[in-house]
Structure 1
Amino acid sequence: MKNKSTQEKVVLELLTNLDTWVSGDYLAKKFQVSRETIWKTINNLKVDCKFNPNFWTNFSA
């Protein structure tokens, strides 16, 4: 099984928690990365979603 990137992990975590707030601190601890890495990941997701209409089809559980 392919290891998921931080971006994939963050997206899947957010999608599984649509009805609740998920903090950057929680994500950083869960995935053992810095909060800055989570911040950069979220900002990259914003850009990817804006410029790639097929972005969400790249993720699978």
Structure 2
Amino acid sequence: MAGGPGHPSGFNPHLPGFKHQFLAKALGATMWFFIFYRARQDGPKLLGLRHPWEGHGHGHHEEHAEHH
């Protein structure tokens, strides 16, 4: 029942075509680039090294001090 040399097991998947292989690699690379980009942006916040409300880089504190 298990098959062997010369006896097919009944399940013989075909290999994916070039288009599917290329698309899989492109989508996989896009996913990893996005994950690394988000890790670079939010990594310190997720690891507890920086608070989410610190370091926006928009100059809100300087702007707020000028108005008062």
Higher RCO by CA contacts (8 Å cutoff, separation 6 or greater): 1
TM-score scaled by length of structure 2 = 0.30
Higher Cα Rg: structure 1 or 2?
A: 2
Larger helix share, 1 or 2: 1
Normalising by structure 1, what TM-score? 0.33
